[in-house]
Structure 1
Amino acid sequence: MDLIGLFAGTAAAADAAPVAPPWQLLTAAVVGIAIIVVLITWLKVHPFLALMIGALATGVVAGFDAAQTILSFTTGFGTTMGGVGILIALGAIYGKLLADSGGADRIVDTLVARATPRSLPWIMGLIGAIIGLPMFFEVGLVLLVPVIILVARRSGLPLMKIAIPTLAGLSAMHGLVPPHPGPLAAIDILGANLGVTLAIGVLVAIPAVIISGPLFANLAARWVRVPVPDLFVTAEDEGEQQTRRPSFGATLASILLPVVLMLARAIADIVAPGSTSPVKMAVDFLGTPVIALLIAVVVGFFVLGRGAGFDRTRITQSVGSSLGPIAGILLIVGAGGGFKQVLVDTGIGDVIADLIAGSGLSILFLAWLVAAVIRIATGSATVATITAAGILQPLTEGLDPTMTALLVLAIGSGSVFLSHVNDAGFWLIKEYFGLSIAQTLKSWTVLECLISVVGLGGVLLVSVFV
């Protein structure tokens, strides 16, 4: 069952008739999105509040009374949090356990020890992608920045040759591959199959990482010549090196476990659709996103926690400390679901869909374009993904699972386009690596554009064969 199938109320709301003439509904959509953009970019209001205020304004302008608008928003918020919110929380717990146990360091150390100067950028792109699978971009960035700086210092290679591939791996996974918040929310809203989306997402992400990572790094190293920051001395120097860590094989297996379970379910759905055999039912159960991630967390307690010598108290502390930092992400995702529900319940989505259907544009290109415009305006990949998915949701009727998955990936590709000064990630990159604004634009911003465009190209290419 797709995530959206868990929420009958949301699905039923998609059939709501428009509550006002098309011009009024379009005006409501423009007003709502404009309010969100202005609040985030100009007044620096938190996206959660901006999405909530924009959703309420949209409902009122569209002709809903206050009670209807609030009910629509809270319904969308609740159904989104009931599905996606659980997955985000489980992902955060696992990511924190991976970092605290030293498992992430084990993977990095093992791969780097086997690298030559020529292969090192490719290895760092692989590391970024592996670490990016279960982690949010910001968490992965904070974890890997010391590694990037240390590797650049020890290898003698230009900073950009190490940083760019690693960031490409992290960012591509964040925009294209669940269980990250944006792709998960789009899967929920559009009713896509998570396993199919995951499989195609990994396929599309590979060329995106290669082109925007190791290949672009050669050019970025010439464009941006900066010294390695004088930060992060080795753990050995500070006497803080972790003496016991989980093994490389065990750590890698635990990271890939939920991915394998979800992919197995997708393959089973293709090979034996409608089967009620005990094996198929077991695969379906284990491959359900919530169950797959829950299994990964439980396995992580033993493989990562006990592998690092953690007792039960230390594991509990790691779990507890993982949830606070994602509160903002959860609220943004929930509010995005509420805004989406207002668009659906008022009929705005249907009106926009009718206009789009008559535009003659490819639905996949249009999905990318809508997400890219919202990303440029708001600076948030998650806001761009959720808003674009809400606008395009009426178009999914009649689409097969593969095309719906490609629609999710087209939106995800657009959501990472053109990171600039209104994006928190832009400033993180600038400050961590000691770059000027111009240097950040020539490195990080171009990297994001490459991921976005190559991702769109991959989606369009796959669509030719399905």
Structure 2
Amino acid sequence: MDNWPVLVHSGIAILGTIVLITKLKVHPVYALLLAILYLGLTGGLGPEGTLTTLTDGFGDILAKIGLLIAFGITMGTALAELGAIDRIVRALIRWFGTRRSPFALGITAGTVLQPIFADVMLVVTAPIARGLARRSGDRGVPIVASALVTGILVGLVMMIPSVGSLALAGVINVPLWKYLIFGTLIGALTIGITIFVMRLLLTRTRLWNPALDEDHEAMDALDAQSEAAESPLQTVAVGTRRAPLWLALSPLVLTLLLIAAGSIGDLLEIENELLLFLANPTFALFLGSGLSLVLVAAYSGGSGVKNSLNRSFTNLGEVLILTGLGGSLAGMVQAIGLGDILAAFFSSSFGPPLLVAWLIAVVLHIAIGSVSVAAITSAGILGPVAAASGVDPLLIALAAGAGSLFLMTVHSNFFWMTKNLLGQSTRGALKVVGFSTSIASVVGLGLVLLLSLFL
């Protein structure tokens, strides 16, 4: 019976967060902060204990991954400044053709482009996606939009070094090398299957009505603006050099190779101080972001470096605060004993932790509209269950990530960006974004459950 007050107050905190964000339009940062304070005060920690737990949890998670997120975003904006993203996508279209290119676009967005902040990636790749959509038949707009949305969002929660994956790994202490290997596998399969299913729905059913669901005038206007904006740059570029694609991507490749080398060293139990230093994810991302900025300076000058850093720091603040509060919530859950209660609950085989992690993230995302907040909150709540129930923390993180994708709709800024940038009406975006994220969520859960048979 003593457990019920903790469970009731935890439910009130979660529902209160949802109401604050959706009904009262309180920013997620303040809504989460109020929920954390409420949990601490009602959980018997007292004012001082509550604040101590909040700040300790905030600091612990940022100490682990704050610099990783900062360097990852900086590298991504540098790649955009070098024009590497544009050339990657165009090359994939040439290699795979228009029929297979949506798969290539989605998987590329979900894997190699994940150092880029999700909103920035959508903005940068949208002109390429619009061009591809025009060459892909009468269902080109929804198929390409679905592929890009699926790739970006699945990668956000399943692919290292994306912001969401780094936060999930940090909240419940999943080794980055492990998340990189299995997250990439599950993520790529989820993206491919989702695109395949969406293509069938869009081409074999009456789901899509181009006359009502597409906005070609908006596409034309956006492309005209892009051409006008690019023309001065193209004039200048005639007399200047452009970084070769292999060189522009070399910092990202080097970063991933260093992290992979460290993972192999761990598996083989190699104890070498130099290897440990170079392969440390923080140093590897620092080195990669630094080299990216050197390339930007060499090919775009000081103004290019300034642009990259300004965009990086603009995106960084809110991401770090939400990530830190996710760590505070995880610490508070542990401090009030909710983790122990849930562990005992699941040890009695009353319910599967992976499914519950997915369901919590589904509910939070539908209510709040934030993929990262839903994933981090769900993982933070269920993370303490992992050790007691014998479930690999990686599976909890991936299940929470999959659940956080379910049914993205009008309360998400990413939804409106997709609608405005990829040529859909609001009705069309509800179909493309809502169906794509829901299918990806269910497919991802299925793949995580399958993976749990082996881990």
TM-score, length-scaled by structure 1: 0.87
Question: Secondary structure of the residue that 1:223 maps to in structure 2?
Answer: coil
Aligned partner of residue 152 in structure 1, secondary structure: helix
Letter of the structure 1 residue corresponding to residue 156 of structure 2: H
Q: Which residue of 2 aligns with 1:408?
A: 397
Alignment deviations for residues 176-223 of structure 1 (CA, whole Å, 9 cap, x no partner): 112223322221221111110110000101211112125423433563
Separation in structure 2 between the aligned mates of residue 356 and residue 425 of structure 1, nearest angstrom = 35
Structure 1 residues 397 and 161: CA distance shift in structure 2, 3 A = closer
Contact 2:194 2:439 in 1 (8 A): yes
Residue matched to 2:280: 288
SS at match of 2:351: coil
* Distance across 1 between alignment mates of 2:372 and 2:345: 25
Aligned: 1:150 with 2:107 = no
SS in 2 for 1:114: helix
SS at match of 1:191: coil
- What does residue range 20-169 of structure 1 map to in structure 2 within 5 Å? 21-130=2-111, 132-153=113-134, 158-169=140-151
CA distance in 1, matches of 2:425, 2:412: 15
Give runs of aligned pairs for residues 345-356 of structure 1, distance below 5 A.
345-356=335-346
1:250 aligns with 2:251: no
Aligned-partner Cα distance in 1 for 2:112–2:242: 16
Distance 1:126 1:409 in 2: 17
Shift of 1:36: 0.9
- The yes-or-no answer on 1:445 pairing with 2:434 is yes
Inter-CA distance 440–324: structure 2 relative to 1 (3 Å threshold): same
Does the alignment pair 1:240 with 2:233? Answer: yes
Rounded Cα–Cα distance in structure 2 between residues aligned with 1:432 and 1:111: 21
Question: In 2, Cα distance between the equivalents of 1:333 and 1:66?
Answer: 23
Counterpart residue identity of residue 255, structure 2: P
Q: Which one-letter code corresponds to 1:137 in the other structure?
A: A
Preserved CA contact (<8 Å) 1:106 1:246: no
What TM-score, normalized by structure 2, do the two folds share? 0.89
Match of 1:174 in 2: 156
Instruction: Report the 3-state secondary structure (helix = DSSP H, G, I; strand = E; otherwise coil) of the residue aligned with 1:44.
Output: coil
- Render the CA deviation track for 1:213-268: whole Å, top value 9, x for unaligned: 25423433563322542222353873433724322222343333322322332232
- The CA distance in 2 between the partners of 1:263 and 1:361, in whole Å, is 36
State the AA in 2 paired with 1:264. A
CA distance in 1, matches of 2:389, 2:249: 35
Count of equivalent residues: 439
Partner in structure 2 of residue 223 of structure 1? 207
> What is the one-letter code of the residue matched to 1:245?
R
Give the 3-state SS of the residue equivalent to 1:397 in structure 2: helix
- Residues 299 and 284 (structure 1 numbering): CA distance in 2 closer, same or farther, change over 3 Å? same
What are the ranges of 5 or more consecutive residues in structure 2 without an aligned counterpart? none
The question of 1:311 aligning with 2:308 is answered: no
Q: Percent identity of the aligned residues?
A: 31
How many angstroms apart in 1 are the aligned matches of 2:86 and 2:183?
26
- 3-state secondary structure, aligned to 2:452: helix
Distance 1:163 1:256 in 2: 27
Instruction: Supply the RMSD in Å over aligned alpha carbons.
Output: 2.4
The one-letter code sitting in structure 1 at the alignment partner of 2:408 is: S
Matched, 1:374 2:364: yes
Are positions 1:321 and 2:311 aligned together? yes
Check 1:123–1:321 CA distance in 2 against 1; reply closer, same or farther (3 A cut). Answer: closer
**1:397 aligned residue (374, 387, 404):** 387
Unaligned runs of 5+ residues in structure 1 are: 1-19
Q: Distance in 2 between matches of 1:438 and 1:357?
A: 45
**1:364 to 2:354 alignment:** yes
Instruction: Determine the C-alpha separation between the residues in 1 that align with 2:63 and 2:331.
Output: 14
Contact 2:9 2:42 in 1 (8 A): yes
Distance between the aligned counterparts of 1:223 and 1:106, measured in 2? 33
How far apart are the structure 2 equivalents of 1:427 and 1:59?
36
Contact preservation (8 Å) 2:358, 2:401:
yes
**2-structure distance, mates of 1:118, 1:317:** 35
Assess if the C-alpha contact under 8 Å between 2:296 and 2:305 holds in 1: no
SS at match of 1:435: coil
Deviation string 1:163-188 (CA, Å, 9 cap, x unpaired) is 22122211111121122233222212
SS in 1 for 2:233: coil
Q: Secondary structure at the match of 2:35?
A: helix
Tell me the residue number matched to 1:6. none
Q: Which residue identity is paired with 1:248? A: L
